[in-house]
């Protein structure tokens, strides 16, 4: 689900105006693809979710291939890339079948969100709705290259508006479900436990190193600083003062400039998606037992850090939880939310427009992908 959300965010950024016309080639009306519980899914919305599902399918294929390679030590990853998408499987199901099932699921969620939103008497301010529409229009007007890309797939601004508005409704519905008093309410203690399990807080200080720095002197004095930070009973400030007394006066600012008890605190998740923090530093933080112990991390001769783990739930860091609480809740319960929508939408009736399904087939989508890739390569060739 998290991968899906990221793919959605990328695709939502760029859309264009698209009106699907009846096409005599397919012998009938192809402006809609599914009719779900009486609501017709416009072709542009269907094509949007088809792209989302395709991206998720490729991700799952990559994960399954990597897992298989890890188990048998084979080169199956390279071999898999040469196999046509339609000849692959996902979760033991032919990929084309899996893809179509996923597109239908996404379309059913789209309808379920609207029905639940209405049934629960939820609302969104006119200002937010207007902003959503205006943002779509702005993206259309200022991203000509992307407009051409998405026109190839038949996804336009009107479809973007529909899906964007659904996303706004979905965010409100999620808060209703999992917020205070909701059907699936998450107690604050449970959310904090998830936070503490998946995020670490750290003080990260970058040691100033220049081409004129004497690395041998730096090495000795940094060891002294680390010892002082971890052993001086009077606290951080006393450790700095003690360290400075051991360093020649002309060198002190090189090692202590900017180092204070409030030096930058970073939140690091277990996957280290915060790319600004080197992996060695992230790993050191997660491997540290307890809080407050300073360690030195040498990424290279010119990239040195002093790091200490902090209690992510400490009162002094409560501002982070207050700021990120909503996004943490969604991260924590996004898969449960999808499952809830699937359960509530399980009984929805579905009518297929076979002519539209033939028109917007996997084969046609792959031709569109090839055309886009070819155009991109031509425009950005070096």
Domain ranges of the chain: 2-185+349-379, 192-314
Q: What is the SS3 assignment for 205?
A: strand
Under CATH, to which class is 192-314 assigned? alpha beta
Across the chain, mean pLDDT equals 83
Among the residue ranges 50-59, 136-145, 249-258, 366-375, the one predicted with the least confidence is: 249-258
Beta bridge partners of 268: 200
Among the residue ranges 57-71, 207-221, 293-307, the one predicted with the least confidence is: 207-221
Distance CA 334, CA 170 (A): 11
Q: What is the structure's pLDDT at 12?
A: 41
Give the pLDDT confidence of 235-273 residue by residue, as tens digits: 667 776 776 676 667 666 665 655 555 566 788 888 777
pTM: predicted TM-score of the whole model, two decimal places: 0.79
Residue 219 has pLDDT above 50, yes or no: yes
Sheet holding 32-36, edge to edge: 39-42, 32-36, 350-352
The pLDDT-based confidence of 336 (bands split at 50, 70, 90) is very high
Strand ranges in 23-177 using DSSP code E only, listed in sequence order? 32-36, 39-42, 89-90, 93-94
Percent of the chain whose pLDDT exceeds 90: 42
What letter does residue 235 receive in the DSSP assignment? Answer: -
Q: Which two tokens stand for residue 86?
A: 């339609």
């Amino acid at each position: 689900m998290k991968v899906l959300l990221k793919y959605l965010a990328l695709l939502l950024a760029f859309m264009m105006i698209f009106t699907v016309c009846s096409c005599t080639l397919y012998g009938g009306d192809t402006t809609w693809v599914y009719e779900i519980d009486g609501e017709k899914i416009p072709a542009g919305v269907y094509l949007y979710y088809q792209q989302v599902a395709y991206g998720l399918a490729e991700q799952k294929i990559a994960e399954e291939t990597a897992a298989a390679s890890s188990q048998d030590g084979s080169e199956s990853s390279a071999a898999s890339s040469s196999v046509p998408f339609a000849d692959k499987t996902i979760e033991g199901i032919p990929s084309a079948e899996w893809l179509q099932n996923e597109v239908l699921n996404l379309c059913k969620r789209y309808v379920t969100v609207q029905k639940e939103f209405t049934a629960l008497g939820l609302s969104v301010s006119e200002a937010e709705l207007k902003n959503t529409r205006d943002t779509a229009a702005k993206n259309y007007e200022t991203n000509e290259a992307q407009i051409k890309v998405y026109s190839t797939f038949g996804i336009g601004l009107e479809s973007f508006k529909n899906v964007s508005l659904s996303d706004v409704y979905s965010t409100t519905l999620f808060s209703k479900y999992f917020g205070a008093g909701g059907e699936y309410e998450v107690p604050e203690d449970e959310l904090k436990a998830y936070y503490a399990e998946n995020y670490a807080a750290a003080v990260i200080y970058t040691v100033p190193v220049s081409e004129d720095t004497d690395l041998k002197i730096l090495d000795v004095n940094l060891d002294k600083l680390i010892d002082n930070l971890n052993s001086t009973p009077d606290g951080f400030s006393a450790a700095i003062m003690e360290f400075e007394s051991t360093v020649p006066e002309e060198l002190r600012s090189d090692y202590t400039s900017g180092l204070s008890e409030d030096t930058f605190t970073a939140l690091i998740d277990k996957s280290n998606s915060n790319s600004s923090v080197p992996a060695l530093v992230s790993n050191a933080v997660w491997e540290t037992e307890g809080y407050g112990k300073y360690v030195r991390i040498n990424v290279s001769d010119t990239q040195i850090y002093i790091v200490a783990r902090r209690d992510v739930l400490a009162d002094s860091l409560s501002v982070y939880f207050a700021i990120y609480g909503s996004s943490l809740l969604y991260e924590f319960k996004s898969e449960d939310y999808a499952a809830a929508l699937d359960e509530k939408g399980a009984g929805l009736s579905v009518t297929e427009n076979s002519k539209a399904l033939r028109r917007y087939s996997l084969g046609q989508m792959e031709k569109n992908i090839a055309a886009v890739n070819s155009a991109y390569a031509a425009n950005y060739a070096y």
